[in-house]
Homo-oligomer: A and B are copies of this chain.
Amino acid sequence: MGQATALTRNETGIETVCGILKQQFGDRFQTGAAICEQHGHTTTWLRTQAPDGVVFPADTAEVSDIVRICAAHRVPVIPYGTGTSLEGHVNAPAGGISVDMSAMNRILAVHAEDLDVVVQPGVTREQLNTHLRDSGLFFPIDPGANASLGGMTATRASGTNAVRYGTMKDNVMALEVVMADGSVIRTAQRARKSSAGYDLTRLMVGSEGTLGLVTEITLRLQGIPESIRAAQCSFPSIDAACQTVMAVIQYGIPVARIELLDALQVKAVNAYSKLSLPETPLLLLEFHGSEASTTEQADAFGEIAAEHGGSAYEAVATLEARNALWQARHDAYWATLQLRPGAKGISTDVCVPISRLAEAVTRATARLDDLGFIAPVVGHVGDGNFHCLLLVDVEARDEVEKANEFVGWLADMAIEMEGTCTGEHGIGQGKMAYLGRELGAATDVMRAIKVALDPQDIMNPGKITLR
């Protein structure tokens, strides 16, 4: 987890920049303690490191101006979407300016015939899907939070639909980015594929604001399927549920969602969302396609589940019930926090090759039991990705230490299984210690790119540990 980074504050620069921004942006530049605190990282147990000021640009030209001003005085620039990242991405360890994109929330163009849309970074995923509702199209990527699309781009987010529709890497077609010198680039055109030079789109997706600030995003859209079926299925053990998932993926059933909740997570969700799901390991599924295809998929799933001791496949009949179920799934994080009021949540995020899924989840839960943590498990298991949410009293040093040890142990296990320490949350501050263990010399190449594109280290410094 969070390593101490020896970043120093450039007090003179910060003071100068705050003066210029105040003059230039008036009320759209704020330095009050409350707003600055709120723009530091507040979601998890990581310590808040507030910026010195928060600016609300209205367009790309203003973002470019802000970056030029900060660059001239070597002051950090930290992009801010909705503040829902879990790894300290919006913290300001050396102070600096938080660039809040909430006013850049326009949907610039819906190209229904090309199945794409152009948005500003402050648009949230729910806002986009509400806007698209009548077009017959939707944007599939859904992290738990109603995150901004800029933030989702920056962290290479995914969520429950990724098993079928991919992650942000697969759904961002092009970006407009303000670079560290204030210059504005466009990474690609709107063609569905291209071989024109380096893939700057994918380089920027997941770069966590450390290479540039995303100011416009072209996203791929999907047609709303003719038929959507949801299902729930209970299992006698985590292993049985995971074996079922592995078989579903290996048989190539194109599930749109296949989510695991362990018994404790189901209990938390029942309490928080007022549901009455059976409190044993549970898979929640969704099938997309034609009527015939979703029936076929559901039947094939039912057969596999039965072979592994799953309960009878239970269809979720109404749209209302389906929405309630997925809302409950998305609220799992908040539901979990209710299990131990006052505790902070530390979410792990490992992702392993699907063949290692059952072993990984089983070993993780066994160790959590041994250590005595209250820590439900939930996962986008079709991708091999699962989260243990450890509830920790962050004032109790031994508990924090034990949690740290577990997170490290789990990351090492995932890496040893040829998996990753982070499937979708990103590195930020929280996972810096594991990037080198996972990718070794490749981090030198990342560092060289960082130095080349941000020689002053002003773009979200102290994240991904590249300097």
Contacts and interface: CB of A to CB of B under 8 A. Distances in A.
Contacts of A198: 203, 206-207, 211, 446, 449, 464
A223 B254 CA distance: 11
B446 A449 contact: no
A372 B419 CA distance: 57
Interface in A149-193: 155-158, 162, 166-167, 169-170, 179, 183-193
Interface in A195-244: 195-200, 202-203, 205-207, 211, 222-223
Contacts of A188: 420, 439
Nearest to A226: B252
A434 B252 CA distance: 41
A453 B442 contact: no
A34 interface: no
Contact of A452 (B186, B192, B195, B448): B448
Of the four ranges (under 10, 10 to 19, 20 to 34, 35 or more), the interface on chain A belongs to 35 or more
Contact of A192 (B192, B205, B384): B384
B441 A183 contact: yes
A218 to B, nearest CB: 9
A292 interface: yes
Contacts of A355: 111, 113-114
Contacts of A414: 191
Contacts of A122: none
Given A195-B423, A383-B192, A223 B251 contact: yes
A424 interface: yes
Nearest to A116: B353
Copies per complex of this chain: 2
B354 A185 contact: no
Given A198-B207, A207-B198, A441-B184, A191 B451 contact: no
Interface in A397-450: 414-415, 418-427, 431, 434-435, 438-446, 448-449
Most buried by B among A156, A197, A246: A197
Interface of A: 111-116, 155-158, 162, 166-167, 169-170, 179, 183-200, 202-203, 205-207, 211, 222-223, 246, 249-252, 289-290, 292-293, 296, 349, 351-355, 383-385, 414-415, 418-427, 431, 434-435, 438-446, 448-449, 451-453, 464, 466
Contact of A420 (B196, B250, B435): B196
A427 B198 CA distance: 10
A418 B191 contact: yes
Contacts of A424: 193, 195
Contacts of A197: 206, 427, 435, 439, 442-443, 446, 464, 466
A464 B199 CA distance: 13
B195 A427 contact: yes
Contacts of A445: 179, 185, 200, 453
A296 B227 CA distance: 14
A126 B140 CA distance: 34
B194 A351 contact: yes
A193 B158 contact: yes
A193 to B, nearest CB: 5
Nearest to A438: B196
